[in-house]
Structure 1
Amino acid sequence: MSSLASRMRQWATEQWAALREARSSIVATAYGVSLLVHLAILGMLTVAGILMGREVARSIEASIVDTALPDLERLDATELLETDLEATLDPILSKTAPRFSPRIVEDIAEPDPELQLDPLSVAPSMLLPSATTLSTRVQLRGDGAEHVDGVEGAVDRLALEILRQLDKGRVLVVWMFDASGSLHAERERLAEHIGKVYENVLARPEGSLAHEGGLLTMVVAFGSGRKAMIDEPTDDTAAIISAIQAVPLDETGEETTFQTVLDVARRWGSFKKEKQPFRTMAILVTDEVGDDEEKLEPAIAAATKADMPVFVLGNSALFGRSEGYTDYTDPKTGQFYRRLPVRQGPESVALEQIRLPFWYQGPQHTELDAGFGPHALSRLAATTGGIYFVTRMGSSRPTFDPSGMREYRPDWVSAGQYRAAASRSPLRSAVLAAAQITQQNLPGQPSLVFPTAGTPQFKEAMERNQTIAARVMYTVEEALGPIQSASSYRDRETSRRWQAHYDLMRARLLAVKIRCYEYDWACAQMKVNPRPFTNEKSNAWRLEPDTEIHYSPSAQRAGEEARELLERVMTEHRGTPWAVLAQRELRDPFGFKWVETYVPPPPPPSDNAGAARKKNQPNANTPPAPVPKL
């Protein structure tokens, strides 16, 4: 019996061991299968992710961007500030209303007739001045902008670019000169200096391409038309200088800048002489944007096809403005003209700044240097691999350190790309909308000095100036709507330029809004309760800035927000046009207070003054001399 029990226990032990071994095998197999299944799933997910990424990339590349600006919800600002004076005047758009650059021409027009080749009487050989020292500063081609010391400094830099081109092969340099009268004196200076540059280039060791006819030059003048100043490209330095000096004066006031680049690219972009190919580089000398901006994209396409970099010697653009002014002396008559209009901006495709007057006496900052060239010319240079040389800065307006302005570079893209990018950004759309609303002939700031309170003259002056304040207020309310609606997108914007635009615009609009309401409130108080003078010599009332905002608690909170934003712009964008404008707005408090004052009466007219005015009046039969067109 015990033997049987012993055998049964042994059998049970063996069976249990076999069962455990089988179970271990099954578990191992299950883990293995599970592992294989999971690895397979991960592999499929990886492959699917890669394929999906490629598909997304393809869909992004092929997607059509809706360039329409999104509808922005208007902000009801009555909760912030309210007034009993209705502002019902409609905005009146002026000629300076902003617009995008002209429509891009998709198809390049047929080539124009060949440039006129007028025989040139070559002046006798000239003794060239001693060579200048070339700048050795490194410049990234295609970066778009470089500040230099006048046209002479730009030409010295161009010598370095010519040498770089010569290292790659034979070079044809095509100089394109704006023939308008405003550049007459500059062309004379440039003709004298260019000989030094060519002497520098020819000073290379004997045997270089420059000594073997490998450096040729052509000179082209342009205004309403175009004219080649030399029969054919030449290496005669004296002939080049004479050609520059012989550029005829164009009095039409029209600059076909981009058509000229287009013609040069087609005519000399693939130049060969004696079957030897030349690399062409174009140099454009001008002080205005040009009147044929619709030819910008075709000019870029032609220059790019010819592998022809375009270098530009031009002005600094005006910050957020299209039209600037320049003094001019007529080279024929010697007559001096002050502040003739010239188109020198803006630095971007569209106007990106509001246009509102500053209150109180002081600079209006209507002409600030943008630190970059006008958009169309800057894009032409950057896209073709050239450089825009800022050779002229405003002599009587604030300028800015180029190194500090580099991160605020405008978007040098086509008008279509610019609009598409703006349409995808509610913040940028709001900035452009607000800028457009303010581009109109506003009446300026209302008067701050009034006659004795309670008199008919006082009431008349009060009503007239309250209407002016209401007119400004209406425009500010319109512009502030889209800006306030886009506030949630401020911190999502990564561009320093657009951040500065938005913060400054919002701060200035709030500040002007508060000033308009405070002005109206102060006028209403004086109309209801006319105040007597406490000083017997006083004869007028003057509104002065006051730190206290009287209109309402919400206006006080808005004033605090405006101050914080202005201080933020001054701190975060120091050394830029935005900081200058913020500092000017913050110079005076937003409130008003009445101060009695004395205004001397105007002097009585004298007979001598009348005789002098009559003497200086031109003869009625003599027509006034026409103002030159630059």
Structure 2
Amino acid sequence: MPVYVVGVPAPFGRQETWVKWVDPDPKFDQTPRWGRVNQGPESLMPERIRLVSSVEEDLTNPMDSGFGPYSLTRLCVKTGGIYFNVHPNRKVGSRVNRAQISSFSSHLSHFFDPQIMKMYQPEYVSAREYAKLVKSNQARRALVEAAQVSAVSQFESPVLRFVKTDEAALNTAMSQAQRVAARLEPRIDQLYQILRTGEQDRDKDPTPRWQAGYDLAYGRTLAAKVRTESYNAMLAMGKRGMEFKDQRNNVWVLAPADSMEAGSQYESISNKAKLYLQRVIQEHPGTPWALLASQELSHPLGWKWDEEFIDLAPRPTMVAANDNANNNTPQDEQARMLPKPPPTRPIPKL
């Protein structure tokens, strides 16, 4: 018997998303709040790495996968039915912000053309058959293994400005900034070492979904690797000593750049990252993979040193001309009593 379901879309490559929740009882606070809801992923196992950065806000910015939650959608497919993927704020081709989301609906920031996404249908097979499909190709195996790694953070707010009062203080500031990169490098390298094992089999897989997934994961990991390692290398360069072009300047600024001043070894990694990400955009337009690849490429992969001047002289303290100038404010004769706000209940498990 065919099974037909009208249901919610699964977030792309993620188990959870956020639902705008308003208390159904008007006696309680009616301010919209956000609660986590288990609504995915669209595939049996996650096929998207958890590389969190300012480029991709992860759980705070989920997007539509184009399909429903895996188990329920598989039931429909295997019985000859259909999973009707619906969302009240679906808007293909433009970003949907949280303010536009209807109450009791999940937040998905981007939606994609169903006709395009048909080519990227997940593998609706048993767990045993899925494991067999994954093991049949090194690129697939590497992608699924990398997606199991706990979330890895990129630079969200790296230190970019270094004031030079003297050489010792400058070196100390740069050394402290290097420690942040040093903590991230092993986590990013773990992803890199897993994914690079799949390179040899990447071209052997003709499936668009697996190709897009692997290329995006490897391209983003390479981009994170080169950003982090070249940042560290640029700080090491700064610690060896640099001369300001304008002797009046006293601040070194590490700015994102398309050039790779840290060294030729980083240039090759940068070029490889761009190759994989650009291939995703060219071969899989109009998909979540292409959107994430374009977002990644919108941020330069390298760094350069700029310089500027900041006045370090202490500012004079402002003293009021008349201490009694503000003593003539009229006082309310009667206290204003504000109504007590309605009580707030915790968001239930969604």
**Band the TM-score falls in, shorter-chain normalisation:** 0.7 to 0.9
1:595-618 Cα distance to aligned partner (Å, 9 max, x none): 2357999xx9xxxxxxxxxxxxxx
Q: In structure 2, what is the equivalent of residue 325 of structure 1?
A: 18
Aligned-pair CA distance for 1:379 = 1.2
2:300 is the counterpart of 1:583: no
1:42-73 Cα distance to aligned partner (Å, 9 max, x none): xxxxxxxxxxxxxxxxxxxxxxxxxxxxxxxx
Query: 3-state DSSP class of the match of 1:348?
Result: coil
Query: 3-state DSSP class of the match of 2:142?
Result: helix
2:253 is the counterpart of 1:542: yes
- The alignment of Structure 1 onto Structure 2 pairs a total of residues equal to 300
- Asked if structure 1 preserves the Cα contact closer than 8 Å seen for 2:138 and 2:200, the reply is no
- Asked if structure 1 preserves the Cα contact closer than 8 Å seen for 2:254 and 2:304, the reply is yes
Aligned-pair CA distance for 1:425 = 2.1
Which deviates more, 370-379 or 440-449? 440-449
Aligned-pair CA distance for 1:424 = 2.4
Aligned-pair CA distance for 1:373 = 0.8
Q: In structure 1, what is the equivalent of residue 333 of structure 2?
A: none
Report the AA paired with residue 388 of structure 1. Answer: Y
Aligned-pair CA distance for 1:313 = 2.0
Q: In structure 2, what is the equivalent of residue 379 of structure 1?
A: 74
Q: In structure 2, what is the equivalent of residue 311 of structure 1?
A: 4
Report the AA paired with residue 194 of structure 2. Answer: P
Query: 3-state DSSP class of the match of 1:336?
Result: coil
The change in CA–CA distance for 1:443 and 1:510 in structure 2 (over 3 A counts) is closer
Structure (1/2) with the larger helix percentage: 1
Within the candidate set 131, 135, 139, 1:427 is matched to: 139
Aligned-pair CA distance for 1:580 = 0.8
Within the candidate set 553, 556, 564, 2:267 is matched to: 556
Q: In structure 2, what is the equivalent of residue 402 of structure 1?
A: 114
The change in CA–CA distance for 1:570 and 1:557 in structure 2 (over 3 A counts) is same
Report the AA paired with residue 435 of structure 1. Answer: A
Aligned-pair CA distance for 1:389 = 1.1
The change in CA–CA distance for 1:443 and 1:514 in structure 2 (over 3 A counts) is closer
Identity rate of aligned residues, in percent?
35
TM alignment of 1:253-402, pairs within 5 A? 307=1, 309-332=2-25, 333-358=28-53, 364=57, 366-392=61-87, 395-396=96-97, 397-402=109-114
Rg bigger for which structure? 1
Aligned-pair CA distance for 1:390 = 1.1
- Asked if structure 2 preserves the Cα contact closer than 8 Å seen for 1:450 and 1:462, the reply is no
Quick one: distance in 2 between partners of 1:454 and 1:520? Answer: 21
Quick one: distance in 2 between partners of 1:411 and 1:599? Answer: 58
Aligned-pair CA distance for 1:541 = 4.0
The change in CA–CA distance for 1:512 and 1:348 in structure 2 (over 3 A counts) is same
- Asked if structure 2 preserves the Cα contact closer than 8 Å seen for 1:449 and 1:540, the reply is no
TM-score for both structures, normalised by structure 2: 0.76
Unaligned 5+ runs, structure 2: 91-95, 98-108, 318-339
Unaligned 5+ runs, structure 1: 1-306, 605-618
TM-score for both structures, normalised by structure 1: 0.44
Aligned-pair CA distance for 1:581 = 1.1
Report the AA paired with residue 433 of structure 1. Answer: E
The change in CA–CA distance for 1:390 and 1:624 in structure 2 (over 3 A counts) is closer
- Asked if structure 1 preserves the Cα contact closer than 8 Å seen for 2:165 and 2:250, the reply is no
TM alignment of 1:445-456, pairs within 5 A? 445-453=156-164
Report the AA paired with residue 466 of structure 1. Answer: Q
The change in CA–CA distance for 1:425 and 1:524 in structure 2 (over 3 A counts) is same
Quick one: distance in 2 between partners of 1:591 and 1:570? Answer: 21
Aligned-pair CA distance for 1:539 = 7.0
Quick one: distance in 1 between partners of 2:19 and 2:173? Answer: 36
Q: In structure 2, what is the equivalent of residue 485 of structure 1?
A: 197
- Asked if structure 1 preserves the Cα contact closer than 8 Å seen for 2:66 and 2:111, the reply is yes
1:410-463 Cα distance to aligned partner (Å, 9 max, x none): 1112223212221222221111112222x3353643514334135677555534
1:356-403 Cα distance to aligned partner (Å, 9 max, x none): 1345xx664641211111112211222233221111156431211110
Quick one: distance in 2 between partners of 1:625 and 1:547? Answer: 50
Quick one: distance in 1 between partners of 2:32 and 2:245? Answer: 47
Q: In structure 2, what is the equivalent of residue 11 of structure 1?
A: none
- Asked if structure 2 preserves the Cα contact closer than 8 Å seen for 1:347 and 1:372, the reply is yes
- Asked if structure 2 preserves the Cα contact closer than 8 Å seen for 1:446 and 1:469, the reply is no
